[in-house]
Each structure stands twice: as C-alpha cells, then as structure tokens.
A = this chain, B = another copy of it.
Amino acid sequence: MKTITFITGNKHKLNEIINIIGDNSMFQIVHRKIDLPEYQGDLEFIVEEKCKSAIRIVNGPVLVEDTSLNITALKGLPGPYIKWFMDAIGAEGLPRIIKDWNDKTATAICMMAFMEHIDGPVHIFRGMIDGKIVHPRGRLDFGWDPCFQPNGYQQTYGEMDYSLKNTISHRFICTTKLKEFLLNYSFN
C-alpha cells in the first residue's frame, strides 16, 4: 500500500479528507505539519508551487491543499488571502468588509495538488461551491465556516453537522475528484 503525505497542521482538514477518502487497499493518507511558504498569485499557481516545495522536503508522494474564499463584490478577493483576513478580523469582520455592497455572494474553492515524484507532473484538483456571506452563525472553530451559507441550504457550514458538510463542501468535491484519480493511478 502506498503512503501519501498530506501536509497540514489543521486537524479539521485532515479529518475531512480522511472521512471522504475512506478505506481502500491502494493507498493511505498520513499527515505531516510543515510550514511551507506560499506565494502570492492565483490559486492554481499557489498550490502548484506549494506542492513542489513539499515534495522537496518529503521526498515521496505528497498532497497539499489550499482554500480560497472569493467574494463577488470584491472581485474574487480575499481569495487565497482569506486566512490572513480571518486571523486579522475574524468571522465577525468578514460580513463587515462587504457591508457597503448589496451583492453578498461568494464562492468557496478548494484546490489540491498531488505529486508522486520530484521530477514528475503536478496533478491539480479543484472543488467549488457557491453561496453567500452572512453574519456568523454556528461553530466558530473553523475559520470562515460560520459566515458561509452554501446555495440551497438554510444553514452555514458552521451550523451543519460535519456529516452533512463533508458530503457537500468545496473540500468534499475536490477530495472526491482526487479519490477518483488516485483509484485509477498507477504508482511507480
């Protein structure tokens, strides 16, 4: 069985991915916390460079993830910089920065990048879900979850049972694509 090292320090993300990937006889996900520098730029560039940095350290199959919250009123920002905004202004602050706009829509995006070999290709996966930014409701322990209400639901991510969130989220969609890819992938 092949081992894929998922680089994260975030238990929530790890648990979401392990729940979705589930048991299989082909590969297992382990995790390792490494502080990888991240570039500024578009999400695809950021996750690709992060993956290349990770494999230079891990020197084996590696998986990285990056999340973006694209607010329509801000033409896609904070986007990949959302984590800095959450650190600075928190869930309470997020609806405030767009208070002066009527359009409250946003898109949550999860990007993952997988490499098996340091000189091999980078495989990139994307999961997206549309929704809107609301005043925080629900659990405050996972970034912007309480501020994001996916279209078609009356609950924010922060109000949903994990069992529901983990079957609809941007990370679920992305991880599902990754899983399909890996189940058909020939490890060397």
A positions within 8 Å CB-CB of B: 37-41, 49, 74-81, 84-85, 88-89, 93, 96-101
Contacts and interface: CB of A to CB of B under 8 A. Distances in A.
Given A75-B88, A77-B84, A101-B96, A39 B38 contact: yes
B40 A84 contact: yes
Contacts of A76: 88
Copies of this protein chain in the complex: 2
Given A77-B89, A96-B101, 17 more contacts: A37-B40, A38-B39, A38-B40, A38-B41, A40-B40, A40-B80, A40-B81, A74-B85, A75-B88, A76-B88, A77-B81, A78-B81, A79-B84, A81-B81, A81-B84, A96-B100, A97-B100
Nearest to A73: B89
A57 to B, nearest CB: 16
Nearest to A41: B37
Contacts of A98: 97
A100 B39 CA distance: 30
A121 to B, nearest CB: 20
A84 B85 CA distance: 14
